[in-house]
Amino acid sequence: MKRMAKIELKYVKAYKDRHGTLRHYFRRKGFPTVVLPGPAGSAEFLAAYAEAEAQAPRPQAVGSKVQPRSINALIIQYYQSTEFRDLKEITQRGYRNMLDRFRDKHGNKSAISVQTHHFEAIFHGMADTPGAAVNLRKRLRRVFRLAVRLGWRKDNPVVETELRRKKTKGFIPWSEEDIAKYLEHWAPGTRERLALLLFLCAGQRRSDTVTMGRQHVKDGKISACQLKTETRVLIPMHPLLRAELELHPSTDLTFLLTQYGLPFSAAGFTGWFVERAKMAGVVDRTPHGLRKAAGRRLAEAGCTVHQIMAVLGHVSLGEAEKYTRDADRAQLADDAFEKLLEAETRTSSV
């Protein structure tokens, strides 16, 4: 029997009842306990898990008591606001993860007396993770905007903060050398090889890729609705991906499964995949870097901005334009160099 206590899903606990039956529960500090019905990994089980993970925290979410007008109390008010409830479930989950970590450290402090310089000290202490600092600042601006609306304070102290900007190019795209090295290490029929080909050939986000299964394949195409944008994509199945899928069971709940036969969580998949890439000699590369590589390949093949958007599911032109712009520059440079060599040849022959 599989040891379900080690399922790669956060907050899942397994216990045997007095009849010896294994039962699963969603237990997260500050949140209601939820019974997860059905066999672990079943559709019923996963649906209950998703609903439990998206639920609002209990009124006393951090610690045994919530001090009035504390940061804890303010964030709880924010979770109950219309603004937060109107967000997509996946967005709510990301906001909660970030804000809950923040209030674990600072929740008992006063939301009324905290000042701009306090927040700046916190943000500057995150200099090694500038992206996280930027995102936390965005979330806290919304939270303290609510404090103003509630009449707790007259100003939003987060608005006036300044971050120490550190230029970053974000997730590093996989190069063709990276891809070749990974594929050489992981043989056909392995989960590792399938994972790379899913990202590279379908070009979707992590949150969408880990939920993909054969139910998303119709008439030789991948049909899926993106969680983040609710954009429907219909992508022709690449021959390499089709050939790889034929080597894997057709009865799996999703294409990618953990060692326990369950679907990956998005965060759990990233940790697993990054480690597998390191084992292949590819370091500092992420699943999202493969999505970028897919966009680069499309641009280098001469695809238009809108063609790239149709595959990757972008709803704005910005990112897709970057792929085509970079590809155009490379082609223009090649053309320029050819002209330079032609001119030099003509000059030398005179």
The two structure tokens encoding residue 322:
């970057």
pLDDT of residue 349: 60
Given a contact cutoff of 8 angstroms between Cβ atoms, the answer to whether 136 and 98 are in contact is yes
Q: Which is more confident, 294 or 90?
A: 294
176-185: which pairs have CB atoms within 8 A and are 24 or more residues apart?
178/282, 178/285, 179/293, 181/280, 181/281, 181/282, 182/277, 182/280, 182/282, 184/280, 185/279, 185/280, 185/281
Q: How far is CA 172 from CA 168, 286, 291, 292, in A?
A: 10, 8, 10, 8
Give the residue from 279, 196, 225, 248 showing the smallest Cα distance to 90: 225
- pLDDT average, residue stretch 245-260: 87
- pLDDT average, residue stretch 73-99: 90
Is residue 107 over pLDDT 80? Answer: yes
pLDDT of residue 62: 44
- pLDDT average, residue stretch 253-280: 89
Q: For 58-168, which CATH superfamily applies?
A: Tyrosine recombinase, N-terminal domain (1.10.150.130)
Q: How far is CA 35 from CA 6, 25, 265, in A?
A: 17, 5, 19
Model pTM score: 0.59
Confidence of residue 162 (pLDDT cuts 50, 70, 90): confident
CATH of domain 176-330: 1.10.443.10
| Domain residue spans of the chain | 1-55, 58-168, 176-330
Domains 58-168 and 176-330 share a fold: no
Confidence of residue 3 (pLDDT cuts 50, 70, 90): very low
Helix (H) or strand (E) holding 348: helix 317-349
Summary mean pLDDT of the chain: 84
Locate tokens 């899942």: which residue? 12
Give percent of the chain above pLDDT 70.
Answer: 91
- Which stretches does DSSP call E strand in the chain? 12-16, 22-26, 34-36, 217-218, 221-225, 232-236
pLDDT in tens, 118-156: 999 998 888 778 888 889 999 999 999 999 999 999 999
Locate tokens 């590819």: which residue? 282
What's the chain's length in residues? 350
pLDDT in tens, 193-237: 999 999 999 989 898 899 899 988 988 899 888 887 788 888 899
Q: Which is more confident, 333 or 142?
A: 142
24 — phi, psi (to 5°)? -115, 145
Is residue 166 over pLDDT 70? Answer: no
In angstroms, the CA 28 to CA 25 distance is 10
pLDDT of residue 157: 94
The two structure tokens encoding residue 111:
């939301």
Q: Is the dihedral of CA 282, 222, 270, 253 positive or negative?
A: negative
DSSP summary character for residue 190: S
pLDDT in tens, 39-76: 887 777 877 787 777 666 655 444 457 889 999 999 99
pLDDT of residue 11: 85
Three-state secondary-structure class, residue 337: helix
Is residue 336 over pLDDT 90? Answer: no
DSSP string, 92-150: HHHHHHHHHHHHHHHTTSBTTT--HHHHHHHHHTTTT-HHHHHHHHHHHHHHHHHHHHT
The answer to which of 102-106, 111-115, 116-120, 252-256 has the lowest mean pLDDT is 252-256
Give the residue from 92, 74, 96 showing the smallest Cα distance to 83: 92
Is residue 262 over pLDDT 60? Answer: yes
pLDDT of residue 56: 60
In angstroms, the CA 77 to CA 81 distance is 6
pLDDT of residue 168: 58
Rounded to 10 deg, the angle between the 266-279 and 191-202 helix axes is 110
Given a contact cutoff of 8 angstroms between Cβ atoms, the answer to whether 270 and 154 are in contact is no
Cα torsion for 250, 253, 255, 256, to the nearest 10°?
A: -140
Q: Which is more confident, 346 or 12?
A: 12
Q: Which is more confident, 38 or 185?
A: 185
Confidence of residue 350 (pLDDT cuts 50, 70, 90): low
